[in-house]
Amino acid sequence: MQLEYERVAEWLKKASALLNLEQKSQLHQNVISICNYLINPSFRIAVFGPFNHGKSTLLNAILGNRTLPIDLIPTTGAAITVKYGTDVQTRIVLVDGTEIYRSGTEVLQQFAILDGNRQMRKDVASIEVFCPHPFLETGVEFIDLPGTNDREEQDNLVREQLLNADLVIQLLDARKLMTLGERENLRDWLLDRGIKTVIFVANFMNLLELEEQKQVQNRLLFVAESFRAELPPGFSNLYRVDALPALRARLKADVAEANSSGLVAFETALQNIVGILQQNRGIVRLPRVEAIAIQIQLLLKAKIDPLANEVKSFVDKQNTKIEIKEKAVNLIKQGFATSISELRDWLTLTNLLRKYQADGAIALAENNFKSWENTLKKDLNQLQLATGKWLDQAYDFFQAERPEDLFIPFPSEPQITLPPKPTNINDLSEPGSIAVGGGIGWLLGGPVGAAVVGSISYLLNKNIQEQEEKSANESYHQQVAKLCIAATEDYLSRFSSQGLAILAAYEQKAEKVIYLEVSQEPLEITNKREELEHLQNTFNDLLQELEKVKIPVSYQPYQQIPKSKTINNRYSPQPEKVKDSPQTKENTAKNTQTKAESSRQQVSPPPKTSASPRPEEVEAKFYNWELDEEIARMKVEMQSPGSQTSKQQNTTPKNQASNPPKTQAQNDKITRAYSILELQPNASLTELKQAYRTLVKKWHPDLFVGKPELQKQAQEKMHLVNEAYAILIEN
C-alpha cells in the first residue's frame, strides 16, 4: 500500500504544479505537507494547542527521561520531531542544506526557541531529536508543535504539520476551556481538512477546586461527545493529564503519583490506539488526502472545462465547414463527371461521324464548310460551358487554383484535289444522283454539283465501307463524293483525337480545383490542445491513483477531443457514375437510341417536331437545377459556420433570419404560398424544397408540348408555384 500512497503523492504534486499555485499559498503548502505525510512510513503523533498549555511538558512526561529536556525550552519556536535512536542526539537542517549534529539536546536552546521578539529563526528547515524510548521503537514519532494564537508565521507552520500527523493530541487548558480560537482551530485546521483522529487532553485540572473540576469535567464530556473522533471502538477521545505533576512523578519514578496525574491511563490508551491504527493507516490518511484531492480536482476542472469548451467549439465549427464543403465537393464532382462523360461521348469518332459526317461532306461539296463548322463549334461550346461551370463553382467555393478554360481547337479546313473531269459529265444515271434539289451554289456548279451531293447521301446510306474498290466505270461525281466523305472523316478523326487528348489533360487539372484542402489547426489552438491534454491526462491519472487507494471520486475521466475530420476528396478522372441519377438515365436512353439509329444514317438530323419531351429529359433539367441550387444554399451556410448543417436544413424559412414584424398583407401572401405548394404553415426548408420538386415534375410545361390547352394550364400553374417558392425562401 505504501507504493500506492507514493504514487498518489506524485500525482498530487504534478497536478499542483500544473495549477501554478503560489509557493506561499495555503493549498500549495497543504499539498507539500500531505505528500510528505503519505511517503513517511512512521506513525506520527502531533501535540497541538496554544502557547503555554504544557505541550512540551506533556511530551517530556511521556518520554520520561531527563536527558530530553524539552520542558526546559521556555517557548518552542519550531516543529521538533522526536524519533527513535539508540542515543539522545539532535539533528538540525538549515534552509541552505547545512546539517548540524549534536549529542544531547542543549543545541535546541540555540535553534528551537523564539528570540526576544518572539520570532522564529528563518534559517531553520527542520529539527529532529533521537531518543531510545520503546514506544518510539515501534515506528512512532512525536511532533512538538509551536503554540498557536501568537503569530501568523507560527500558525502557518502548525497548520502544515497537522496534515503530517496520523494522530493529534489537542491539549486543553482546564482553566479556560475551549476558547473561541480553539473552537475555530478545531473546525478549520482539523475537521475541514479531514483530520478526525483527535484525542483531547485536559491539563491544569489540579489547579482547580474540586467543585470546579466537576463542572469542567462535564463541559469536557460535552466537547468530546460533540466531536465525533474516528478512533478505534471502545476508546474515549477525552483524557485528563496534569502534565507538570506527571513529569515530576515520572522523573522520581513515583508510580502512584503518575497514576493520580492521569499519565498512566493516558499512555496505556495511547499505545493501544496507536497499535490498532498502525494496522490500517488508510482509515487515518485517506480522509485528509481526499480533502486535498477534492480541492485540486476542482481547480483542475476550472482550468480544463473552459479550455475544453474552446477547443471543442473550434473543432465543431471546423467540422461543420468541412461537412458543408465535403458535400459541395461531392455535388460538384458528380456534376463535373456527368458533363465530362457527355463531352467525351460527343467527341467519340463514331458519334461525330454519325451526327456530323453527312452534313459536313455536303457542306464541303457545296463550298459551305465554314457554316457547317460553326454549327459544330456551337454544339461544342455548349458542352464546354457545361463542363467549365463546375470548375467555376469549385473555384468560387474552395478558392483553389483558378480553373483554366477548356479549349478544344478545330483542325484546318479540308483541301480536296479533284480528279480530272471526264469528257461527258451529263450522265446522271447513278442511284441517288439527284437526291438533293437545285438552287444552291455548288463547288462544281450545275448538274454535276447536284449529282455529287446526291452521291454523298447515297453512298453514306448504303454504307460506303461496304462498297467495292473504285471501278473503272465509276462516275466522276461519285469519285468527288467519296473524296468529300473521306476528307470530312479525316477532319472529324483529327478533331476527335485531339479533343479527347485535351479533355483527358483537362480532367487531370480539375483535380487541383475540385479539391477540399483541410487547413491545419491554428498554432494557438494546437498549443491550447496540448495544454488541455496535459491537464486532462493529469486529472485522469490522479483519479486512477485515488481509486487504487479506495478514495471515492466524484468525476468521470476526461475523453480526448478529436481533431477536425479529414477527408480524401481527390477527383478521379473517370469517376463512377451515380446510379439511377436522372442524367444517367438520359444518357442511357440516348445511347440506346444511337445504337438503334446507327443502321439508318441520315443526311442531316430530322427537323424538330412538336412531340412532347421525354419525362427523363425534364428530370435531367430539374436535376441540374438541384445541383446548382444546393451548392448556392451551402455557400449561404458557410457565412455562419458555427451552426450545424443538420440544424440549418431543418430550420423553418421564417426562422432563418431575424426579420422585423410582418404586415397582415405579407402574412396573407405567405399563407397563400404554403397553400399553393400544398404545405402546412411553418414547413421546414427540406419539406419546402421537396414540395417544389414534386410540383415542377408534375407541371413542367415541356411535358405538354403539342397539347396547347394543357400547356397553357401548366404554364399558369408553374408561375404560381415559382412565385410561392420565392416568397417562402425569402421569408
In the predicted structure, residue 471 carries a pLDDT above the cut 60: no
- Of 363-372, 398-407, 458-467, where does mean pLDDT reach its minimum? 458-467
Q: pLDDT, tens digit, for every residue of 478-498? A: 888 888 899 999 999 999 999
424 lies in some domain: no
Residue 715 forms part of a structural domain: yes
Q: What is the pLDDT of residue 463?
A: 56
Number of folded domains that form the chain: 2
Query: 636: pLDDT confidence band, cut at 50, 70 and 90?
Result: low
Which pLDDT value is given to residue 635?
61
CATH, residue 174: 3.40.50.300
Cα separation of the two ends of the chain = 70
Task: Write out 705-720 in H/E/C secondary structure.
Answer: CCCHHHHHHHHHHHHH
Residue 103: its H or E element: strand 99-103
Choice between 167 and 593, residue whose per-residue pLDDT is larger? 167
Distance CA 620, CA 578 (A): 13
Phi-psi region of 715 (alpha: psi -120 to 50; beta: other; left: phi over 0): alpha
For residues 260 and 480, the model is more confident at 260
Indicate if the alpha-carbon torsion angle 322, 327, 330, 334 is positive or negative.
Answer: negative
Query: What is the reported pTM?
Result: 0.56
- Residue 648 near residue 659 (C-beta atoms within 8 A): no
> Under a CB-based contact definition with an 8 Å cutoff, are residues 691 and 673 in contact?
no
656 within a domain of the structure (yes/no): yes
Q: Mean pLDDT across the stretch 365-379? A: 91
3-state secondary structure of 47: strand
Strands (DSSP E) found in 225-310: 238-240
Q: Average the pLDDT over each of 215-219, 296-300, 465-469 and give the range with the smallest value.
A: 465-469
Most confident range, picked from 132-141, 432-441, 599-608, 717-726: 132-141
- 641-700: per-residue pLDDT in tens? 444 444 444 444 433 444 567 788 888 888 888 899 898 887 887 788 788 878 877 887
Among candidate residues 296, 325, 353, the one where a domain is terminated: 296
The residues, ordered by sequence, that sit 6+ positions from 651 with a Cβ below 8 Å of its Cβ are 684, 685
Q: What sign does the CA torsion over 484, 488, 489, 491 have? A: positive
**End of a domain among 228, 261, 296?**
296
Could you list the residue range(s) of the whole structural domain that residue 708 is in? 650-731
Amino acid 200 reads F
User: Quick check: 645 and 324 in contact, CB under 8 A?
Assistant: yes
Whether 171 maps to a domain, the answer reads: yes
Is 358 within the bounds of a domain? Answer: no
String of DSSP letters for 530-577: HHHHHHHHHHHHHHHHHHHTT----SPPPPPPPPPP----PPPSSPPP
Instruction: Give dist(CA 27, CA 159) in Å, integer.
Output: 11
Averaged pLDDT score across all residues of the chain: 78
- Asked if 385 and 378 count as a contact pair (C-beta separation under 8 A), the reply is no
C-beta of residue 88 within 8 angstroms of C-beta of residue 103: yes
**pLDDT of 355:** 92
Strands 198-203 and 124-131: unpaired
User: 645: burial class by Cβ within 10 Å (0-12, 13-18, 19+)?
Assistant: middle
Judge whether 726 lies within some domain.
yes
Question: How many C-beta atoms lie closer than 10 Å to residue 533's C-beta?
Answer: 15
What is the per-residue pLDDT across 305-324, written as a single tens digit (0 to 9) for each? 999 999 999 988 888 888 87
Question: Going by DSSP bridges, is the β-strand pair 43-48/140-144 parallel, antiparallel, or unpaired?
Answer: parallel
Q: Is residue 63 one of the residues assigned to a domain?
A: yes
Last residue of a domain, one of 296, 326, 352: 296
**Model confidence band, residue 341 (pLDDT cutoffs 50, 70, 90):** very high
Answer yes or no: are the C-beta atoms of 637 and 324 closer than 8 Å. Answer: yes
Query: Which residues are CB-neighbours of 371 under 8 A, at least 6 positions away?
Result: 363
CB 536 within 8 A of CB 311: no
C-alpha cell at 247: 513529569
Say what the pLDDT of residue 625 is.
56
3-state secondary structure (DSSP) of residue 142 = strand
Percent of the chain with pLDDT over 90: 26
- For residue 633, being part of any structural domain is answered with no
**pLDDT value of position 235:** 92
Task: Give residues with Cβ within 8 angstroms of 474, minimum separation 6.
Answer: none
| pLDDT tens digits, one per residue of 67-92 | 455 544 445 567 889 999 999 899 99
Looking at residue 390, its pLDDT comes to 85
> Could you give the angle at the alpha carbon of 62 between the alpha carbons of 60 and 64, nearest 5°?
65
